A and B are shown apart, each in its own frame.
Chain A
Amino acid sequence: MSAMKRRINIRMSGLGGQGVVTSAHIMAMAASKEDKFSISNPFFGAEKRMAPAESYVRIGPEKIYDRGELVYPDVVMVFHPQVITMGKSYTMPFYSGIKQKGIVIINDDIELLTDAEKEELDQMGILVYYVPATKMALDIAGTELSTNMAMIGSVSGLTDVIGMEALDLALQDRFGKKYVASGGTATLDEAIKKKFAKKEMLLQKNLDTIKVAYDRAKDYAKSNNYIPAVMA
């Protein structure tokens, strides 16, 4: 991966239970494995499935002090179509505050944006990248609980901000040992562990999901000659 010149701010919008918080933590941990500076934090109301949940990860070449809700993101990741179609987002529209030449990554394979939204994003030079993350998760890991892995793979592949090796190490850190982010997260951890016969299977299947999404995003960038402005 390329050396970072400036900070990248990533906002992840999804629904409670989708692993949005976990995604930001894994991204931040992976960045720290590459000796980059990073900070991740979630924002959510009382924990419940299907309610809006957001988390933020900031990665950069110098120490990061900024924290809290990300108002001016470079990348907005939409983990669930309802973020757009039902307004389950902390901001309206869901891309509010996005910087020029930023990136929007949407988990779906059908068009979800209105013509007006498409035009606005186009004028700002923003790349809108669709990835069927939940379908990928079901195909590769056999559970939609791995949707977040496909999302992590996509953003890493598109932006080159983090490599596969660091993601693998971060994944092992997160699921290889006991971890408590919250009561809700602990319950979900137990749920996902039951889906896989062995912890190693869990790690491997999730890693495979990241890798497929990562390669797909890399191929997309290559075949479209896409150079992410956020890494310039």
Chain B
Amino acid sequence: MAGHEGNGMPQIGSANKKGQIITDPQELFFLSPRSQAFLTGSEVIKEAVKRASVDFSVAYPITPQSEASSLVGELYADGYVGDYMRGESEFAVMGECAGGAFGGARVFTTTAGPGTLRAFENFPMWAGSRLPIEVVFTVRGVNSPLSIQPDTLEIAFMLETGMLLWHAETAQDLFDYILKGYIVAEKPEVHLPIGVIVDGFFVTHTKDMVMMTPENRALPHYNPYASPVTCMDMESPPVRMMRDPFVMKSNYISYMTHASWQLEVRAAIERSRKHTIPLLDGLIEVENPDAEIMLVSSGTAVSQSREAIRLFRDQGVKVGLVKIKTIRPFPEQELKMALKNAKHIFVPEFNIAGWMAKEIKSILPDNERVVAGPHVAGGMTMPPEIIVEEIERSLALKGKKELIHG
């Protein structure tokens, strides 16, 4: 991370006002000693934000992120977060986050489900304005009848916002992604908002073991002068475009400018890959890559798949796994490679639409190999037994019963 001497921010090696030593990200993530803690996901969010040198956070309550945003308020009270306020609604929250980021602050917020959708207009605006805001989506049901329970449908709405989207499987992922997310999102050649996604309740309200970086070390501060778009400059994009928008002219150049800028946002997502791969140890994780049957998913659907793989193992059947860590950028080449030899690809999902299966089908050759399922929705749990049943049923239909019992 480039230094930005002379603006009063503590540099690497010196202490911030809470006595935390500003530490090089590589050293913080990979060399500093980690200590074990047994925490809820909400508490993990607090612990990560405490180490993230966050300048500004806005809070608004909605289950299941209310505890996390309240805990960030405690960090503010303790002096670990620069400024903190309550928004009037999720729409206001995300607008206020944009204001903070336009002003050169590192911004953090959280929302979920209906809150995500209420705020929605802001997300493509953030991306187009190149604001590297981080938001944790603790995903839950969005449809009527009302559900506050875990459901990943809201991610489908986020796919084309121009944001980076990382999906945490566990409390450990959540802790690491929150910190590493800033490092990638703020790279000058990326400089995009990032959604760190985590399944509501299954992670936020679940107590799990997490290895944490030292409490007395924090990330380097955000350097707004490394932004690819000038910070609040009225004469250059994006503010220039908002002040005197091309839409007022309605001519070919205005359409072309819009289109080329959207292409650039998508190119920036792709450019994030080279920074993300070393930090997350790849965009995917693969287990048993030579298995004929592969389970592919993201979030806690991966955890349930790991249990299903154990059940198959006990029956003497080898089943493989691909965990997708980043949904944007979508790991297209990695998936093609990892699933090259797979005969049957199952995509377990916690939503009614099967959007992840559609994403996978859209990039794979011979995509009749992909089975969209099993699906649960609205807060239903997905016991590993259900995954096993779905695979057995599907393969029996394909006349491949011997694979399971042979």
Contacts and interface: CB of A to CB of B under 8 A. Distances in A.
A68 B385 contact: no
B207 interface: yes
A66 B307 contact: yes
Given A65-B303, A180-B70, A43 B207 contact: no
A26 B38 CA distance: 11
Contacts of A84: none
A59 to B, nearest CB: 12
Interface residues of B, number: 32
Given A29-B207, A45-B148, A69 B67 contact: no
Contact of B207 (A41, A72, A183): A41
Contact of B205 (A38, A41, A46, A66): A41
Contacts of A218: none
Interface in B255-310: 300, 303-304, 306-307
B66 interface: yes
A42 B201 contact: yes
B317 to A, nearest CB: 18
A181 B208 contact: no
Max chain B Cβ within 10 angstroms of own Cβ: one of A25, A67, A180: A67
A18 interface: no
A2 interface: no
Nearest to A178: B74
A41 B202 contact: yes
Interface in B69-85: 70-71
B190 to A, nearest CB: 31
Nearest to B350: A68
Interface in B57-72: 63, 66-67, 70-71
A161 B67 CA distance: 30
B87 to A, nearest CB: 17
Contacts of A181: 40, 42, 67, 205
B303 A43 contact: no
A156 interface: no
A202 to B, nearest CB: 21
Contacts of A29: 38, 207
B150 interface: yes
Contacts of A70: 381
Interface of B (DSSP majority class): mixed
Given A29-B38, A66-B303, A72-B385, A39 B149 contact: no
Interface in B358-394: 379-385
Interface string A31-45: 010000111111101
B127 to A, nearest CB: 32
B230 interface: no
A66 B206 contact: no
Interface in B96-146: none
Contacts of B201: 41-43, 68
B55 to A, nearest CB: 23
Contacts of A65: 303-304, 306-307
B209 interface: yes
B383 A66 contact: yes
Contacts of A42: 201, 205
Contacts of A114: none
Contacts of B149: 43
A117 to B, nearest CB: 23
Contacts of A43: 149, 201, 379
A182 interface: yes
A28 interface: yes
A28 B209 CA distance: 10
B150 A28 contact: no
B66 A40 contact: no
Interface in A34-76: 37-43, 45-46, 65-72
A70 B209 CA distance: 20
A39 B42 CA distance: 15
Contacts of B42: 180-181
A28 B303 contact: no
B206 A67 contact: yes
A28 B40 CA distance: 11
Interface string A198-224: 000000000000000000000000000
B179 to A, nearest CB: 21
A46 B208 CA distance: 23
B208 A39 contact: yes
Closest 5 CB pairs of A and B: A68-B381, A41-B206, A65-B303, A69-B381, A65-B306
Given A41-B206, A66-B383, 6 more contacts: A29-B38, A32-B209, A39-B208, A42-B205, A66-B303, A182-B66
6 contacts: A28-B207, A38-B207, A68-B150, A68-B381, A180-B42, A183-B70
Interface of A: 25, 28-29, 32, 37-43, 45-46, 65-72, 180-183
